Structure 1
Amino acid sequence: MAKSAPPVKKNEIIELHFEDITHEGAGVGKVNGFPLFVPYALPGEKAKVKVINVKKNFGFGKLIETLHVSEERVVPPCNVYYKCGGCQLQHMSYKMQLEMKQNQVKNALKKIGHIEGIPIHETIGMEDPWRYRNKVQIPVGAKDGNLITGFYRKRSHDIIEDMERCIITDEVNDRMVDAVRETADRLGISAYNEENHQGVLRHIMVRSGKVTNETMIVIVTRKEKVPELKQLIKEITNTYPEVKSIVQNINAEKTNVILGKKTKLLWGTEYIYDEIGEVRFAISAKSFYQVNPLQTKKLYDKAMEYAALTGNETVIDAYCGIGTISLFLAKKAKKVYGVEVVPEAISDAKANAKLNGIENAEFFVGQAEKVMPWWKAQGLNPDVIVVDPPRKGCDEQFLQAMIEMKPDRIVYVSCNPSTLARDLRFLEDGGYDTKEVQPVDMFPQTTHCEAVVRIERRVQ
């Protein structure tokens, strides 16, 4: 029997009642069972919608007018929210954001992992879900002969000219971007033009330590020799005592990638420092470091709770990065082995262990799925494995290696509920039970969702 055509047509204007929300924050309404996804619409709302794209089984719409407004709708405090796209949820109350993230984890575990009936706790949020980012990377452009800075408009490389502030980044970062732009403008440093690959200044990156108040400025340029940088350094460092490091990154490529291969210290120290709990970290221009250290502490506290260390355990930290979680674990474990594929991250991890006087953590460069079987062959039998993979989740070979090592407990730190659910299914089929899940809001105002999972080996 021929399948009937979709009940809506492109450019049609309809009234739609919204009953759900996607993991990307779009409202979901249905016309005769046919779902339409509409950005900025909230569940419980009724609105006029223009149909902008129709596929076989679903369509996309644009919000024209909200006829019935949800109590959870708020006015976005950012003046460029609807242009930028860096945040997706500023129109939604923070309470609803936290509920949405909890539901996102629940739905992924149910639909993808076929895991139900376990506690998925309420999302741990922030008291103040603004100004939390300790790092900002802002493109530089030109208008009417002057330098401008601002994020790109959604799906474009046009700088948003009227962007005054980014209200999810630390105020000191905003201030430093302004200072570098205004000084560079006065000194006649030109903006990079990606169309003709001319000009000098590509990006301004600022990193700051939440606890230490130390700041690093990274100036990304197309060419290495920029005579005006000496005067820029003098003016910035004379005015802002919190600046401890000014670094130049040279990116001469025709590329969208922000940082080039060559980085050199122009002034001050190569590292700035910050602290999460009792652990101190050295952060370089290229270090991976959590952008929300306040929430990172909550995330790691939960991971430590789930690891249930008594001081006698051998622990593996897979995808260990610069050793952030390894060093927390090392304070409570007998021995920690960290593995990470990025050599620079392992150098940072070793330096951070030394910085904190931690001697029971060892770090290795390599792919976890290849290193783990080798460790097993050497007789390494971990009691606990902590895993914090990238968004694509864990390699199947790695999951299998984990199962074969038979740790009593696995703590999975996830930044993607879908791949988390897939990997939990694999572990469940391999003899492990998912015990509880704690979502943590590391990136308020955005759709990103992190979670920590307690997993235990099934008693045979």
Structure 2
Amino acid sequence: MYCLNFYNVYIFNNLKRKLFNSQILKRGISDVCESKIITLTKSKEYDKFKIYRNNIYNNIYENQILHGVKVHNVDSKGYGEIALYVTRKHSLFFLKYFLLIPEEQVNIKVLQINKKKEKISFQVLCKTKKSKYEITPQCEHFSKCGGCMFQHIDYNFEKQLKRNLLISLCEKYNINILYSNQNYLQDDHNFVTLNEKKEQDLIEISQIKSEYINDNINNEDQDDSENANIMEERYLNNNNYKKLHNIYQKEKNNEEKRNIYYAKLYNFIYSNDYNYRNKSSINFCVTDHLSIGFYKKNSYEICDINNCYIHDKYIQDIYTQIKNEIKEHFIKNNIYIFNKINNNGYLKSVDIKISDYNKEKQILINFIGYTLTNTQTKKNLITIANNLALKNPMIKGVLYNEQKNKLKQNKKEILLYGQNHIYHSYNKYIYKLGANTFFQPNQYLNQYIIRIISKIIEKYKINSSNTCLYDLFCGIGFYSIPLANLFDHVISIDYSIDNIKSLEENINLNKIKNIRCIQMDLFNQHNLKQINLHIRRYIVNTVKEKKIDLYDKIKEYIRLTFIQTNNENILVENIQKIQSPYSTLPRYIYEQLNNFNTNTFKENNDNIITKDIFKNPNVHNDEYINNNNNNDMEYSNDNDMIKFKQNEFVMPSPDLIIVNPPRKGCGKVFRRWIRGLCCKHIIYVSCNVHSQFKDISHLINLGDN
């Protein structure tokens, strides 16, 4: 009887453990992770890094099970971060497991230790403690689908995690910040410095090293330093050299005198956590069965879903109708879905866009695939389009784009039903949206971005007379069109032909005349040099026509080009001067500006451009200017005046630059080109915070504070 009861208790505990740990399987946690061995014997790189006391171990070996390992953070991709420290070898390990939550505790097994490659593999076995921030996801496919990352975390805690991510990036790139609990659109901000909360479970690496590192290592370091001091004294005595102690003191004093700049971090503006996307891309695939849905996490396999909670509710209705139509015609062999195994079929995916036009919902459906083989396949797609339009009157058009390559602009568009565009209205402005044009998926936040930009322009008084706005990677002009009435000139540049065509139509719809559209690849160095040439022509024409009211602005641009730098950035700034349109102006321009300063405004001596600029070979090179001006201008022998061609294309210097690059951010050449424009105000809009902070740090190092 005793044995039977013991057996029943064993079965109950085993079942309880399996039910408790079923959350690991239900959430689909990736259970294997590989980490590099970071040795911290003499390194001080991670001394300020804090680690949980539960995650400190004396030693690790293969097949060892680590109990109660605590998760301390979540990265931007939804991976839970774990830090382990081994005291005997003074090694640090960073582990990442998908969908783990801070303050959870798990058991980890050491699978393999590869000393040659200095890597160790770990595996999550089970969860021993549940986090208080964990919630049940609404989507049943959350653990498999790659469309969402934070549905298992409380939304308020998710906001806190995103704020902590920005703070950690500021610390990574040495950006001092002041924080406000109110968003930028609110008034009466109270900025405070962020003080780290002291947790009893956290301990710094430096404190661990001081407790566990042997005294022999410290003694060896002391002996080495003493021997170095003895050798230095002998060398100075034998060679009649004197050690200047004041140099180090001067450097310290100079560092103290440097101004400390603070970046202001405002509270976030959030949209709804569900049903906020106005665009959805749905994929089709056939392997052993038909799959319609989204890609899985880090995979090209498709997760077949019936309901998505993040796109708009009207898109969900259209998605259900499309899925039923595709399945029905697929069974009848009327359409052929793309098969990745044998590369057969033509239909790959479908894009659904929704917009608000005068309180009316408009939907555009765009099927994407390869070239249609015959007319019968086109008729079958037309039948599907007509069936969808009959079921839902909000559908204004159904298209089919033949994909010839990976670039969206190289597609042949076939109209299946209705029109090939829809309209979107914001305030008094109208936008025309095509199938291949870019539009922000979260319209709620997009409207707030325009309000924030307008407030920045008003606060810093950027919209004065003779001002110019550069909207780079402009898309269909969602920022250019509403801001056009605040500037005299607006230059909108994008690499997509479809975006530029839509922007030109939107300009005509809204009857705006001061926007100039340019289709150009801004990552091409040759194109950036062409823009510099157009800016240079504008400055020369301004001085030639004697527009005195613009002289002060031109002088300020030239002064910012030749800013003083410390010794570490001299090489960088010399390279930057070559790429700036203000550093290669003809001598005649500098002389005219100097004469204007000395004859008219003698009181403003600080703004005078000195003649030392012309004596410096790094600043001005006559041969370089003459070689680059043969096609643009001619010099007369009398007074070195310049004769320009008539009706030439020029671009004003920017007073404000709005940058909205792709996820990869700005390249090295593009960043230096922006620095060469010497614009005081730059607004950086990005969907990838990591590339954004990387670009901002480089711009700061180049001189843009």
TM-score above 0.5:
yes
Cα root mean square deviation, aligned: 3.0
Shift of 1:115: 4.6
CA contact (8 A) 1:28 1:35 kept: yes
Counterpart pick for 1:18 among 71, 76, 79: 71
Shift of 1:423: 2.3
Helix, strand or coil: the match of 1:168? Answer: coil
Q: What corresponds to 1:207 in structure 2? A: 353
Whether 2:391 is the aligned partner of 1:243: answer no
Shift of 1:83: 0.5
Question: Residues 104-153 of structure 1: CA distance to partner in whole angstroms, max 9, x if unpaired?
Answer: 22222321354544221222211x211111111212245887x5412233
Cα separation, 2, equivalents of 1:280 and 1:236:
26
Helix, strand or coil: the match of 1:393? Answer: coil
Whether 2:558 is the aligned partner of 1:414: answer no
Residue correspondences, number: 427
Say if 1:71 and 1:270 are closer, same or farther in 2 by CA, change over 3 A: same
Counterpart pick for 1:283 among 433, 440, 451: 433
Helix, strand or coil: the match of 1:229? Answer: helix
Cα separation, 2, equivalents of 1:59 and 1:91:
29
CA contact (8 A) 1:314 1:384 kept: yes
Which amino acid is the alignment partner of residue 84 of structure 1? C
Cα separation, 1, equivalents of 2:355 and 2:665:
29
Whether 2:258 is the aligned partner of 1:105: answer no
Q: What corresponds to 2:19 in structure 1? A: none
Shift of 1:323: 1.4
Say if 1:27 and 1:404 are closer, same or farther in 2 by CA, change over 3 A: same
Say if 1:411 and 1:60 are closer, same or farther in 2 by CA, change over 3 A: farther
1 or 2 for the larger relative contact order (CA 8 Å, sep ≥6)? 1
Q: Which of the two has greater helix per residue? A: 2
CA contact (8 A) 1:306 1:411 kept: no
Question: Residues 271-291 of structure 1: CA distance to partner in whole angstroms, max 9, x if unpaired?
Answer: 111234443221111111111
Question: Residues 322-369 of structure 1: CA distance to partner in whole angstroms, max 9, x if unpaired?
Answer: 212111221322221111222222112111121222221111122343
Counterpart pick for 1:265 among 403, 409, 415: 415
Shift of 1:196: 1.5
Shift of 1:63: 5.0
Counterpart pick for 2:463 among 305, 310, 315: 310
Shift of 1:191: 2.4
Which amino acid is the alignment partner of residue 127 of structure 2? T
Q: What corresponds to 1:375 in structure 2? A: 534
Helix, strand or coil: the match of 2:455? Answer: helix
Helix, strand or coil: the match of 1:118? Answer: strand
Q: What corresponds to 2:341 in structure 1? A: 195
Helix, strand or coil: the match of 1:203? Answer: strand
Say if 1:62 and 1:275 are closer, same or farther in 2 by CA, change over 3 A: farther
Stretches of structure 2 that go unaligned for 5 or more consecutive residues are 1-37, 42-56, 86-91, 178-261, 523-527, 539-651
Question: Residues 378-407 of structure 1: CA distance to partner in whole angstroms, max 9, x if unpaired?
Answer: 222222111112222223333333333332
Which amino acid is the alignment partner of residue 175 of structure 1? D
Choose 1 or 2 for highest CA Rg: 2
Whether 2:469 is the aligned partner of 1:325: answer no
Shift of 1:416: 2.5
Counterpart pick for 1:167 among 309, 324, 327: 309
Counterpart pick for 1:151 among 291, 294, 299: 294
Which amino acid is the alignment partner of residue 502 of structure 2? D
Say if 1:172 and 1:279 are closer, same or farther in 2 by CA, change over 3 A: same
Shift of 1:169: 1.0
Shift of 1:89: 1.2
CA contact (8 A) 2:287 2:340 kept: no
Question: Residues 228-271 of structure 1: CA distance to partner in whole angstroms, max 9, x if unpaired?
Answer: 22322222222210010010122477x8x899722211111111
Counterpart pick for 1:356 among 510, 535, 543: 510
Stretches of structure 1 that go unaligned for 5 or more consecutive residues are 434-460
CA contact (8 A) 1:113 1:421 kept: no
Q: What corresponds to 2:141 in structure 1? A: 80
Question: Residues 138-181 of structure 1: CA distance to partner in whole angstroms, max 9, x if unpaired?
Answer: 12245887x541223333333323x1111111122222222123
Cα separation, 2, equivalents of 1:57 and 1:103:
31
Cα separation, 1, equivalents of 2:497 and 2:371:
26
Q: What corresponds to 2:266 in structure 1? A: 121
